[in-house]
């Protein structure tokens, strides 16, 4: 049986991680996978997480199973953080999932159960694992324009033109904030136009929100998701705690489904069913830490303060890189780096230039020229800027 297996396509981001590890050159720079690194190159455990782990170690008396949907207190706390007053419990069903990817996977499985023929519309470009999972599940998919290669901003006109072809019941996958891989984001007015179009077409939004707090702040980054949940009758929201709580390997995520109060119990039952089919009970450790932090005022204040430091560090690196590129290139053509938000910016280098950055300069970024701003520090920014200009971007 095993002889019949064929090689699977490799994930571009994970492949790059491997290549970086195997590179023996001193001074190599990893701007590939989306992981925050402090100025010393470490991905730290956040202070509030350490404190919560300590407290949990002292107080946890059992590791027995939670509910199939995970601990309801986690769903309440995290949905409150993301949606504030928009998290209407009468409309919401939710399950804890293994990370944001688990939430996306379960959302897609829910869509396949409810509407097997529905097409899932993805931004071009999007996180490569989106189309990969959809293809694996055998679901129809289509793309809408998103990125304007010239301005490196959002092609809002193209996006609306393409979404005008959406059919009733189709699903539109949107990045709640900090678009991955481009760093270019819709304004709230543009979100409103997308909402109006989805309402007119009868489309269902699936929002992937994995970077809340990395763009313009916790509240601002959630504003678009709240608007969609408030304005639309049915919405799926897949959330990740990997980045903003720095608990990547704990696999902590939440899938929320908003619909009519009458349908809530059945939706909740289906979500729990999907957890049971795929892995039974969801992981609990990270969810418990997040719940503890969000419900304890002192821990929460400390977490918010540290997240704000992380966000400001990234904004500082963006300004430094944009200024350095302006100086070296003598032009404003890299100003978009300062305007992008979140961990990533797509800088618009060709695949050959990305390859040269890696082979000649030891700088690793994804082949579509997505660079992880959080992988930089004050010393590596000038090196990157020189290399970008040297390869002729």
Q: Contact positions toward ligand LMR, by CB under 6 A?
A: 13, 33-34, 127, 129, 180
| Nearer Cβ to ligand LMR (129/353) | 129
Instruction: Please report how close the Cβ of residue 9 comes to ligand LMR at its closest, in angstroms.
Output: 14
Instruction: Please report how close the Cβ of residue 113 comes to ligand LMR at its closest, in angstroms.
Output: 25
Looking at 224-296, which runs of residues are DSSP E strands? 235-240, 253-258
User: Is the CB of residue 177 less than 8 Å from the CB of residue 342?
Assistant: yes
Instruction: Please report how close the Cβ of residue 317 comes to ligand LMR at its closest, in angstroms.
Output: 17
| Nearer Cβ to ligand LMR (170/250) | 250
For 290-325, letters b (16+ CB in 10 Å) and e give bbbbbebeebbebbbebbeebbebbbebbebbbbbb
**What residue number has its CB nearest to ligand LMR?**
34
- Residue written as token pair 């005008």: 164
Residue 243 appears among annotated catalytic residues: yes
Instruction: Please report how close the Cβ of residue 13 comes to ligand LMR at its closest, in angstroms.
Output: 4
Instruction: Please report how close the Cβ of residue 36 comes to ligand LMR at its closest, in angstroms.
Output: 11
Residue 191 appears among annotated catalytic residues: no
The residue among 112, 142, 105, 111 whose CA lies nearest residue 126 is 142
Strand partners, 94: 256
> Catalytic pick from 208, 224, 238, 267?
208
> Catalytic pick from 121, 127, 191, 303?
127
How many beta carbons lie within 10 A of that of residue 155, not counting itself? 20
| Nearer Cβ to ligand LMR (129/313) | 129
> Catalytic pick from 48, 51, 75, 210?
210
User: Is the CB of residue 309 less than 8 Å from the CB of residue 316?
Assistant: no
For 48-72, letters b (16+ CB in 10 Å) and e give bbebbbeeeeeeeeeeeebebbbbe
User: Is the CB of residue 281 less than 8 Å from the CB of residue 65?
Assistant: yes
| Nearer Cβ to ligand LMR (93/123) | 123
| Nearer Cβ to ligand LMR (132/295) | 132
Residue 287 appears among annotated catalytic residues: no
List the catalytic residues. 127, 208, 210, 243
């Amino acid at each position: 049986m095993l002889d019949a297996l064929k090689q699977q396509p490799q994930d571009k981001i994970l492949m790059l991680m491997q290549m970086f590890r195997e590179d023996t050159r001193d001074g190599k720079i990893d701007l590939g996978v989306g992981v925050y690194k402090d100025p010393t190159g470490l991905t730290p455990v956040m202070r509030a997480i350490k404190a919560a782990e300590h407290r949990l170690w002292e107080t946890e008396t059992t590791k027995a199973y939670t509910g199939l949907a995970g601990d309801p207190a986690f769903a309440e706390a995290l949905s409150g953080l993301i949606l504030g007053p928009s998290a209407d419990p009468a409309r919401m069903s939710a399950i804890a999932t293994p990370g944001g990817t688990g939430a996306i996977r379960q959302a897609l499985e829910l869509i396949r159960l409810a509407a097997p023929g529905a097409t899932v519309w993805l931004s071009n470009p999007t996180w490569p694992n989106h189309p990969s999972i959809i293809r694996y599940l055998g679901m129809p998919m289509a793309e809408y324009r998103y990125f304007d290669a010239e301005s490196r901003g959002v092609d809002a006109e193209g996006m609306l033109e393409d979404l005008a072809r959406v059919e009733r019941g189709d699903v539109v996958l949107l990045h709640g904030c900090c678009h991955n891989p481009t760093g270019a984001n819709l304004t709230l007015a543009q979100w409103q136009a997308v909402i109006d179009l989805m309402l007119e077409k009868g489309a269902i939004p699936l929002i992937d929100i994995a970077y809340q707090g990395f763009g313009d702040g916790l509240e601002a980054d959630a504003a678009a998701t709240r608007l969609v949940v408030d304005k639309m009758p049915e919405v799926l929201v897949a959330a990740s705690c990997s980045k903003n709580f720095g608990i990547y390997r704990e696999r902590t995520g939440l899938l929320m489904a908003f619909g009519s109060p009458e349908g809530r119990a059945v939706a909740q039952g289906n979500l729990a069913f999907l957890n049971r089919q795929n892995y039974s009970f969801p992981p609990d450790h990270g969810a418990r830490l997040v719940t503890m932090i969000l419900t304890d005022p002192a821990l929460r204040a400390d977490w918010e303060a540290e997240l704000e430091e992380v966000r400001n560090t990234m904004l500082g690196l963006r300004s430094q890189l944009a200024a350095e590129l302006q100086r070296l290139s003598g032009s404003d053509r890299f100003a978009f780096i300062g305007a992008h938000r979140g961990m990533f910016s797509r800088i618009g280098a060709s695949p050959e230039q990305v390859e040269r950055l890696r082979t000649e300069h030891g700088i690793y970024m994804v082949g579509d020229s997505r660079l992880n701003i959080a992988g930089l520090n004050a010393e590596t920014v000038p090196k990157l800027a020189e290399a970008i200009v040297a390869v002729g971007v």
